Structure 1
Amino acid sequence: MRILIALLVVCVGSAAFWASLDHRLDAPDWQGQLRGVSYTPSHLYTDADHDEHLTDAMIRRDLEQLSTVAKRVRTYTVGAGYGSHGMDRVPYIAKEFGLKVSLGIWLGDNLDKNAAEVARGIQVIKDNPTVIDRVFVGNEAIDVRAELTPDQVAGYIRQVKKGINNKKIEVGTAEIYNFWLQDRAKDVAKDADFVAIHILPYWDGVSSDQALNNVADIYEKIQKKYPNKRIVIGETGWPSEGRVHRGSVPSAAIEADYLRHFVNFAAAHNYDYYIMESFDQPWKGASGHEGAVGAYWGIFDAEGAPKFSFTGPLTSFAQWPTFAASAAAGTFVLGAVVLAVLPALALEGYFLVAGMVALVVSGALFIADASSLRYVDRTAIGGALLIVPAGLFTALLLITETSEWALSLWRRRRTTLPASDLAVQPRVSIHVPTHNEPPLMVIQTLNALSRLDYENYEVIVLDNNTADDRDWKPVEAHCATLGPRFRFYHFDNMKGFKAGALNKALELTDPTAEHIAVIDSDYQVFPHWLKTVIPAFADQKVAIVQAPQDYRDAKESLFKTFCYAEYTGFFRIGMVERNEHNAIIQHGTMCVVRRSAMDEIGGWAEWCITEDTELGLRLFEAGYIALYTPETMGRGLMPDTYAAFKGQRYRWVYGAMQILKRHGGSIFGGKAKLTLAQRYHFVAGWLPWFADGLALVFGVLSLIWTALMAIAPKHFDVPLTALSSVALALFTVKSVKTIWLHRAKVGTGFTGSIAAAVTGLALAYTVGKGVVLGLLTSSSPFLRTPKCENSAPWTQILKISAMETIMLIGTAVAITATVAVTHLQDPADLVWVAALAVMAVPYASAVLVAMGSTIKLGRRPALEPDLTPAPVYSKAKMDIAA
């Protein structure tokens, strides 16, 4: 019932949201014919279509349709030097439908083509003196394209006038209204019979409710400037699709609203005008002309279908029922699937997850609506092949992250580790692998092991490939003082990394040992460790009992405080949740494994640099159970430097990619005994890392794209607002989740939550690099995490965060370039800058953490490797482990 309530409420809310976007537009009807429309033929989708020869049949089809709505058409070329060949046939055909033609002669920077255009234009005018009422010699050639000077255009006007020698036919040129307000326009106006102005409020960023006032103001200014000239509005209109431009919102409803208001106003004030334009021109969008919005100015679409009506009721978002129904249905179906597979939650948890599903569904609808998919070309299809998978991945990540969020806060029941007294203590063999470790640190670890409140155990210390005997000889000597249950071995030239050492330790293990425990050489265990976890093995299907990784040096420095906050979240949140589904991640320390199960699956994998996680997955594949206790039972040491911290995380990520490639068949199918929940949690656990990998790739691509925007702004525009918003949504959700859950479940307070978020972000580049290289390469050397090091000097800050610094600088340059190129005139520009800023946050965090890692204030000195403590013979001298 809770699921149904949450889904119904969220679905109603989603539908209501879409309904709220619609409102009535008070647009007057228009029953008459338009005074004029600009005409470029229909069915032109590419530059190739635009440049090919037009047939009489194509033109006749269009003009027959236009004759029903307009009295005359304005053309732009006769096709002799520029544009579509065959456009000179328009006046010859227009007479069949009683249409007047305002003939256009295109002018550019090619003087030979200009001569051809003018010559053919003059001949067409002479052939159709009763059809052609006006001639536009050039279109925005002076001010917009800056291909000709005012004197040159004035000369062409005089040439045409002389050539046609017909006073009844007006000759002039068309420019945007700003040009006619300049002093240099006077030379052109002197020779022109009329002043043709282009007034397109959209490009001025004027909102639709102020557009008509904008037109009237401009018209009045031009009229005052040229009181003795006929003022002609050569182009005015509104796009039906495309990007928001400052205050101008393109939509079919607003196009209809603007044009219905304009034509009524123009009739009342006797304006002479041409509506921009007759048919949508997809070739403009495909070729980069005017951006994507350039394709959508027609009163008919590219196929000739009306885009709106000049009469009847008009609303701002007439399609809202379709979108509302789609949003509600998509949310209900997807939400039902997601919520049904979740364990029992409180109502708040179901609301949170259902709300995120609704956000994902509506976000997908927004992206589809904003993508201007009306005229799909190969480029759009290619873009979709990239966008759709990225969108699906984002949706999956948002839903999985929110599900973990809800489960962590509102799960109704929790699994606890079974507790019972042991009648007989099974033998446990504790393995401590070492390699180039500070001897005092290892000795402290062994001292803590000697205090275990458990009788039947042995400790095998296996040192592998440590070249300096000053590092391992003191440990060997100390083991001899701790009694026969402590055995020390040293091997040179051992293969297989840490896994090789652990497999050797298995060979040396007491045959009667039933369980294998592993701890890292820096961990000081609590006395009750084994006594607490071993009873869980009473269930013969239990193969692993894992205690959390915890650390005892969190207060040694600001850097380690930050690291501790980042580490702790996974062991207090993620692992607790995975334990509910028998899907924990086995760690290489504080774990106990059933020996018979380990023997069954073949021991540690020496091909994998995260052998612990790989072993746990194989045990799951064999059908075993793993249990986790969130109770701290031992504490180790964190990396002392940012470089070591990054290296450790890189190893974890690279190893995960090795596991994915080796076990992908079992996880995504196969005959393994993995449950659906186990498969889900392994994939869901890797998704944030894949997100960092994609963020790294897209971050680089974003810098390239922004550079192309700066170099060729006519062909490269800022990405869609909806797509840029995806990055902002991901960042926001993950940040809020981290801060909320850390405060609620980890108990580090708001400051600790911020520290966890910043430190996690500082690892984003490293994680992304690990994902990319892990997928593209097959092997990487085992990266030991050094302990008890001195902190890096401040002079090394840029070295230890070199790539992050480069990416930070590059992103800052990209932001600056975007501001310089776009002037932040459009909402899409602002959102893109915000997205770039979000992309820069991980790099800035990395530099910040790198700086923090060099601060020496409050740090303890590194343990000297050759410092040998006195032998421990009694409990009184065990305090060295404290």
Structure 2
Amino acid sequence: MRVVLAALALVTGLHAALWLWSRPVAEAPAAPHKFTSLSFSPYGKDEDGENADVNPEQVRKDIAAVAPYTDAIRTYSATRGLDVVAPLAAEKGLKVTQGIWIDKDEVRNTREIDSALVVADRNPNVKALVVGNEVVLRGEKTVDEMVALINKVKQRTSLPVTTGEIWNVWLEYPQLASAVDFIAVHILPYWESVPADKAVDLTLDIYERLRKAFPGKHIVIAEFGWPSAGFNRNNSTTGKLLQAELIREFTNRARARGIDYNIVEALDQPWKGVLEGSVGPYWGVLDADRQLKFPLSGEIEDKTFTQSMIVALLIGFLLSLPIIGTRRPTFAQCVLLAGAANLVGAWAAILIDHWLTHYFVFGAQIAMVIGSLLLAPLAVVILSRIEEISAIAFGRKGRRTLDGQDPAVAQTPKVSIHIPAYREQPDMLIKTLDSVAALEYPDFECVVVINNTPDPEFWQPIEEHCRLLGDRFKFVNAMKLEGFKAGALRLALEHTAPEATIIGIIDADYVVSPDWLKDLVPAFADPAVGIVQAPQDHRDGERTVLARLMNTEYAGFFDIGMVERNEQNAIIVHGTMCLLRRAAMDDAGGWSSDTICEDSDLGLTILEKGWSAHYTRKRYGWGLLPDNFEAFRKQRHRWTFGGMQIAVKHLRLFKPGASRLSAEQRRTYLIGWLNWMGAEAIGVAIAIMNLIWVPVIAFGGVAIPEAVLTIPILFGFAIYLIHFFSLYQLRVRHPFLSTIGASIAAMALQFTVARGVAEWVVKQHMPFIVTAKGGKGVKARKFPARWELGLGSALVLGAALVWGTNFVNVRETNIFALVLLVQSLPFLAAAGLAWVEGSKLNDPAFIAAKTARLAGLGGFVRRRARDAAAPVVAEPASALASSRDDVATV
């Protein structure tokens, strides 16, 4: 306990220190007590400013909210209820620059002008009229049309009249400047991709350029601002502190130089996310809740930082608590586990803060909701993988794994070995029977059940061979048998000797070691033991390159996952190299045909009844690998479908008290299902969702997934690679190149596993499909990974499209493109293996020959380089003379 508490204290302290070290703080000159003017759009958080009329009561509240911070406001329209702004502003002593919205709708333009003139006539606090906002920039009016419109308004009012345009429009069209009473220039460095540290200087330089271009003309910087959130635009980055720094610096310097200005804008406008992308809602000095976003003087800090830090530390601490239940943990193990928990806590806090401090348009809401829901189980998967790394790399050696026979145990109970066979090759099954006959154990029998195999060529040789092997071997031929493999095993039990107390299960293709029973049966001397499981292995792992990869991929499960699960008494029973206590089988109800993975189903049921299970890493049997890649996938698909059936069947018994499973066993199974079936299904679901999102991002320009949703995917992939390669190096005794191949083979099954989950959701039941082994597999007529090839190619093309259309270099877009590439790898891995299988690269002899040739070429190159570098030594004169003589003689 002291080790755990010390680790928790260390990691929590470091986590807090990192937060405090990264605490964002900025300094900037104080802004004026009140801004000269603020752009004012009185729309509520959930209102659509593009289509909704304003609520007078909302206007009154918004004016009251901004009045303490400004001397004046600028509006952009005089219709749809906005004619009430000026009189309500007068109540708070605010001046108004009245806007007139101009577009291609001439009827509305007339109504806007008329309404604005009435407002200006009736409200003395209106000090100027702005006819149109960036109308020339938007291309909705020509300069000449705008000049005519401005002159028309000037004829009907004595107030100063202008229009709002960006700075280069004014410089490009001096006739527009001649038409107005003052220049209302918009200078927004963010939209020009200007770095934040150069934004104010650029703004003031542009102001000076306009002064020189239009001497004697009054110039107002009618829009200056910076977004507090949203995506970057090339070198323009956003942020709460950046917004505060820039607005305070600009207003301070503008006041010192006597520049009239208007800050865009007073209030955050969530509805602008549809029109102006991710930054549109975040230009306000006040947020959508009408709270000032930053102090106008003194130190600038993130207002939500402290809350986020507390949430991160709290979640990290809570996620670390399960470490207390870890058996005999080491300090390094606890530190790694606590570090992972606190990392997830930090991400969760950032995600929560993102939810609370950002506004989301409909598409972004969908992305955030779905992304958050899918990433929550991904976080659990990441934690479980790090937990396994910590246990194997830094934990203590396990205590429950069987190392061999206990010499003190002399009991030899009768064992009945059951071999179910369906259309198996006779020569293969005969090898299995011969290996069973050679077992060095005094008391055993073997029951061979041939089921649903009418062709005598398959069963007659087996019947004859069983007769030759003697009375220990019982041959059962069931021409019509229901229940698949479980049915055959039930029938085997009916022909089992009554005195047999241990049942052994092997597949028809397995050759067993003579010491299998001798070494493992003694474990049943403990009356609580119901299962003893040995790993599967294969004797044909060198026949092809693909076979090598499959064999190494299988080995990871048996040398890593099963060993760790054994420590929690939560192994997965697999129907070969398995020994079961007959009483435990009876207690569990025997073999069930409810699932197509009857072995794992029965094993879990036995554990639920309170029996113990043991596992050994030693290989006692060697079978045959699937014939080809298609058979490899079909086998994994069956395991997945059966796994889903088992999970749903047993889930009700995972409630505390519903069975005799311990909390550790329940947790191991639940996380195991999530880590295998859940992770792969979620991975495919996220990939497909992202693929659907590609055209929205590439052509819609909006709804790019936030980095808080995409970076965890990249992090999860990195953890997958670290987990795979580190644990394979520590536990699996296979060459490193084979490990690389195994990682490709494992990734290649992602779509297969996800499809198995999806098909279970649709139909819940499917027939038992025997894996093709021993040359029974039929070569696929079609490319077996065509779906994976299509999805992988689409993801790669999507990444290229998203990256290629990212003209303003938005970081989140590039991250999203990288995510698409990473998500394409499992699909392309499947396509690659399917291609390798049909090429010369699948032939080990071909690979060996090419490797030898390359090695020889390398040796030749090294010799030439060595010869070229050798110093030239002059030959003695006598040698030269001898050489000349030889030439003359020839």
TM-score, shorter chain, exceeding 0.5: yes
User: What corresponds to 2:310 in structure 1?
Assistant: 325
2-structure distance, mates of 1:653, 1:43: 50
Residue identity opposite 2:145 in structure 1? Q
User: Which one has more relative contact order, counting CA pairs under 8 Å at least 6 apart?
Assistant: 1
Structure 1 contact 171–193 (Cα < 8 Å) conserved:
yes
> For structure 1, which runs of at least 5 residues remain unmatched after alignment?
80-84, 862-882
Aligned-partner Cα distance in 2 for 1:94–1:680: 62
For 1:567 and 1:116, the matched residues in 2 are separated by: 76
Q: Relative to 1, partners in 2 of residues 1:163 and 1:824: Cα closer, same or farther, differing over 3 Å?
A: closer
Q: How high is the TM-score relative to the length of structure 1?
A: 0.90
Name the residue aligned to 2:163.
173
Q: Distance in 2 between matches of 1:332 and 1:69?
A: 42
* Alpha-carbon distance change, 777 to 294 in structure 1, aligned in 2, over 3 angstroms: same
Structure 1: distance between partners of 2:669 and 2:314: 30
Alignment partners' CA distance in 2, 1:738 and 1:65 = 57
Question: Is the counterpart of residue 593 in structure 1 residue 607 in structure 2?
Answer: no
Q: Which moved more, 1:720-729 or 1:102-111?
A: 102-111
Aligned to 1:102: 97
Instruction: Please give the residue correspondences for 1:811-830 in structure 2 after superposition, counting only pairs within 5 Å.
Output: 811-823=795-807, 825-830=809-814
Alignment counterpart, residue 638 of structure 2, candidates 643, 648, 651:
651
Does residue 566 of the first structure (1) align with residue 553 of the second (2)? yes
Question: What does residue 72 of structure 2 align with?
Answer: 72
- Structure 1 residue 686, shift from structure 2 partner: 0.8
Q: 1:880 maps to which residue?
A: none
Q: Structure 1 residue 788 and structure 2 residue 782: aligned?
A: no
Report the Cα distance in structure 2 between the residues aligned to 1:685 and 1:468, rounded to whole angstroms. 41
The answer to whether the 8 Å contact 2:63/2:89 transfers is: yes
Match of 2:129 among 135, 139, 144: 135
2:147 aligns to what? 154
Corresponding residue for residue 835 of structure 1: 819
For residue 186 of structure 2, the aligned residue among 198, 207, 213 is 198
* Residues 545 and 843 in structure 2, CA contact (< 8 A), matched pair in contact too: no
Match of 2:15 in 1: 14
Residues 832/225 of structure 1: CA separation in 2 closer, same or farther (3 Å cut)? farther
CA RMSD of aligned residues (A): 2.7
Q: How many angstroms apart in 1 are the aligned matches of 2:764 and 2:46?
A: 46
- Kindly tell me: are residues 5 and 298 of structure 1, through their superposed partners in 2, closer, same or farther at Cα, counting changes over 3 Å? same
**Helix, strand or coil: the match of 1:800?**
coil
Partner of 1:878: none
Letter in 2 for 1:815: A
Q: 1:516 aligns with which of 503, 510, 513?
A: 503
Cα displacement (A) at 1:24: 4.2
3-state DSSP class of the match of 1:617?
helix
Seen in structure 2, the aligned counterparts of structure 1 residues 860 and 74 have a Cα distance that, compared at 3 Å, is closer
- Name the counterpart of 2:714: 728
One-letter amino acid matched to 1:778: Q
Q: Deviation of residue 758 (structure 1)?
A: 1.4
Partner residue, 1:546: 533
What is the aligned counterpart of 1:411 among 370, 395, 408?
Answer: 395
- Give 2:35's aligned residue: 34
Is this contact kept in 1: 2:270–2:360, CA < 8 A? no
Q: Is there any run of 5+ residues in structure 2 with no aligned partner, and where?
A: 846-890
Q: Which amino acid aligns with 2:72?
A: R
* C-alpha distance after superposition, 1:285-341 (max 9, x if no partner): 4xx2323432222222334332222122224x4544433333333323331x12111
How many angstroms apart in 2 are the aligned matches of 1:584 and 1:68?
Answer: 68
> Structure 2 CA distance, aligned partners of 1:731 and 1:818?
21
State the shift of 1:699 in Å.
Answer: 1.8
- The within-5 A match list for 1:424-435 is 424-435=411-422
In the superposition, the TM-score normalised over structure 2's length comes to 0.89
SS at structure 2 position matched to 1:822? coil
Quote how far apart the aligned CAs of 1:664 are: 0.8
Deviates more, 1:90-99 or 1:724-733: 90-99
Partner residue, 1:854: 838
> Match of 1:394, as an amino acid?
L
Superposed displacement of residue 611, structure 1: 0.3
User: In the alignment, which residue of structure 2 is the partner of 1:342?
Assistant: 326
In structure 2, how many angstroms separate the alpha carbons of the residues matched to 1:447 and 1:763? 35
Confirm or deny: 8 A CA contact 2:793 2:828 kept in the other structure.
Answer: no
- Structure 1 173/806 Cα, relative in aligned 2: closer, same or farther at 3 Å? same
Distance 1:557 1:20 in 2: 55
1:545 is paired with a residue of what secondary structure? strand
Q: Partner residue of 1:753?
A: 739
Q: 2:194 is aligned with what amino acid?
A: V
Pairing of 1:243-322 with structure 2 (within 5 A): 243-285=231-273, 288-315=274-301, 317=302, 319-322=304-307
How much does 1:593 deviate?
Answer: 0.9
| Residue 356 of structure 1: aligned partner | 340
Query: Aligned runs of 1:321-720 on 2, under 5 Å?
Result: 321-335=306-320, 337-373=321-357, 386-414=370-398, 415-417=400-402, 419-421=405-407, 423-669=410-656, 671-688=658-675, 689-713=677-701, 716-720=702-706
Give the 3 Å change call, closer, same or farther, for CA 708–61 of structure 1 in structure 2. closer
Cα shift at 1:449: 1.5
Tell me the secondary structure at the aligned position of residue 626 of structure 1.
strand
In 2, Cα distance between equivalents of 1:278 and 1:860: 71
Q: Which amino acid aligns with 2:318?
A: V
Change (3 A) 1:857 1:242: closer
User: How far apart are 1:136 and its partner, in Å?
Assistant: 1.7
Q: How big is each residue's C-alpha offset from its partner over 1:630-686, in whole Å with a ceiling of 9 and x where there is no partner? A: 100111111121110010001111101101111110023452111111111111111
1:648 and 1:785 in contact (8 A); partners too? yes
CA–CA separation in structure 2 for the residues paired with 1:801 and 1:178? 56
Tell whether the 8 Å contact from 1:461 to 1:488 is kept in structure 2 after alignment: yes
For residues 467 and 235 of structure 1, the distance between their equivalents in structure 2, rounded to whole angstroms, comes to 87
2:482 aligned counterpart, secondary structure = coil
Query: Which of 744, 751, 766 in structure 1 is aligned with 2:730?
Result: 744
Contact 2:304 2:353 in 1 (8 A): no
Could you list the per-position Cα deviations for residues 769-806 of structure 1 after superposition, in whole angstroms to 9, with x for gaps in the alignment?
Answer: 1122223422011121001238887x96x721011112
Distance in 2, matches of 1:499 and 1:694, equals 31
Q: How far apart, CA to CA, are the structure 1 residues paired with 2:512 and 2:219? A: 90
Label 1:452 to 1:172 Cα distance change in 2 as closer, same or farther (>3 A).
Answer: same
1:356-390 CA deviation, whole Å, 9 max, x = no partner?
Answer: 00110001111122335466899988776545543
Structure 2 vs 1, CA of residues 507 and 333 (structure 1 numbering), >3 Å: closer, same or farther? same
Q: Could you say what secondary structure the match of 2:796 adopts?
A: helix
Give distance in 2, aligned partners of 1:28 and 1:824. 31
> Is the contact between residue 88 and residue 121 of structure 1 (CA under 8 Å) also seen in structure 2?
yes
Question: What residue identity is the alignment partner of 2:83?
Answer: D
After superposition, the C-alpha distances for 1:60-103 in whole angstroms (9 at most, x for unaligned) are 44445544433322110001xxxxx2212333344444433221
CA contact under 8 A between 2:314 and 2:345: conserved in structure 1? no
Q: 1:478 and 1:257, CA in 2 relative to 1: closer, same or farther beyond 3 A? A: same
Query: Is the 1:14–1:324 Cα contact (8 Å) retained in structure 2?
Result: no
**For the residues of structure 2 that align with 1:65 and 1:420, how far apart are their CA atoms?**
82
Is the alpha carbon distance of 1:666 and 1:178 closer, same or farther for their aligned partners in structure 2, counting shifts above 3 Å? farther
- Residue type of the alignment partner of 1:726: P
Partners of 1:253 and 1:443 in 2: CA distance: 77
Q: 831-840 vs 852-861, which deviates more? A: 852-861
Q: How many angstroms does 1:284 deviate by?
A: 2.6
Pairwise CA distance, 1:747: 2.8
1:496 to partner: Cα distance: 0.8
**Cα distance in structure 2, aligned partners of 1:154 and 1:818:** 41
CA distance in 2, matches of 1:693, 1:224: 64
